[in-house]
């Protein structure tokens, strides 16, 4: 999603708006924001969720894949964190 939004912005800056006429860019940005909010709400260990684990201090701020039985793997952490950092850097 980050790359798609960046690509559409670059296309606009280069003056090739006619390439984007058939696409709903407002919807793309809305989905982009919803996706970030969803990942933060369902894919990160908030203190309220981490307190149910054996060592909560190890989990707070981490990421997991809910569809994978709350397993935390390094690639999940990398994907969630890099996506969040790219969103933050591009948005703010």
Q: How many domains does the chain have?
A: 1
**Tokens representing residue 65 in the block:** 């894949």
Q: Are 63 and 81 in contact (CB under 8 A)?
A: yes
Give 89's pLDDT tier (boundaries 50, 70, 90). Answer: very high
pLDDT in the model for residue 33: 94
Q: Are 64 and 43 in contact (CB under 8 A)?
A: yes
pLDDT tens per residue across span 8-63: 999 999 999 899 999 999 999 999 999 999 888 887 888 888 888 888 888 888 88
**Tokens representing residue 71 in the block:** 């397993």
Residue 44's domain comprises 2-91
């Amino acid at each position: 999603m980050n790359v798609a939004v960046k690509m559409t912005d670059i296309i606009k800056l280069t003056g090739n708006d006619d390439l984007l006429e058939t696409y709903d860019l407002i919807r793309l940005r809305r989905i982009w924001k919803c996706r970030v909010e969803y990942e933060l709400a369902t894919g990160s260990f908030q203190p309220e969720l981490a307190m149910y684990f054996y060592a909560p201090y190890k989990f707070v701020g981490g990421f997991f894949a809910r569809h994978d039985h709350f397993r935390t793997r390094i690639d999940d952490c990398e994907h969630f964190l890099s996506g969040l950092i790219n969103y933050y850097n591009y948005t703010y």
